[in-house]
Homo-oligomer: A and B are copies of this chain.
């Protein structure tokens, strides 16, 4: 029996102030989400796997300078771009993750190569870059990752000695820069992927939830596939992505109940801010968030294309 396939993508969550959002900017974000969504959706309709669909969708978001991942990554404290990504497939529970790499054009493709290597799950830093070179992955120079707006933010953050969670012009407008995708294919296999360029002016080799299987990304054919975005420290402590699955498997919650509980009760109880996208083994999709907005889009055999930013 063919299952009902579907896909959802996100481009980060946070306090996305309507007042500083122009129609033009909003249209660009919507177009970026739609491009990633429909590319993944086309693959699923052709009978391709969910893991290929989420990898393709996240690659497109990484290549879009609007989103804080890949090309659009923010500057860390040392004026460098350090990127994290992860991917997981629900059939085998195989997973791949990478933290703190620079220069790799598409960290999600590196995470996939790590997943496909039977020896590894989680690689980091220069060593992970060496692995990427052995896999002949594409590297880009600093010019590729340079963005004047983000560089200005970095300089401002340095001056204020503050850590900015994303490419937001001020602390008032707080945005958690992550991209992600979750999908169910016609074989009934679930997959999830997440990627980020981290936080502006971050230091000490900080790793957030994005590359952490169970925190930022999780997929299990028994339950669901999940990709998170938010203040990563809280998502780690809540083991947020896996918790959605555990609530479904052990407490018989529906996807919607599990997602809402994690985002609006568990995370809020420890001051965690952000959201997640999730799809279950029947093709149901939920995209809860407790911040003012979350860039998100979804489509499935059960539902039309939906692209949203605010509640």
Contact residues of A with B, CB < 8 Å? 88, 92-95, 99-100, 119-128, 130-131, 163, 203-208, 212-215, 218, 232-233, 236-239, 242-243, 246-247, 250-251, 270
Contact = CB atoms under 8 A, between A and B. Distances in A.
Contacts of A122: 206-208, 212, 233, 236
Given A212-B212, A214-B239, A120 B250 contact: no
Contacts of A93: 237-238, 270
A214 B242 contact: yes
Given A214-B212, A215-B213, A250-B250, A121 B205 contact: no
Nearest to A241: B239
A93 B163 CA distance: 23
A99 to B, nearest CB: 7
Given A88-B237, A212-B213, 5 more contacts: A94-B237, A95-B237, A127-B206, A128-B205, A131-B204
Contacts of A203: 127, 130
Contacts of A238: 93
B251 A237 contact: no
Contacts of A214: 212, 214-215, 236, 239, 242
Given A242-B214, A250-B250, A204 B120 contact: yes
A160 to B, nearest CB: 15
Contacts of A127: 203-206
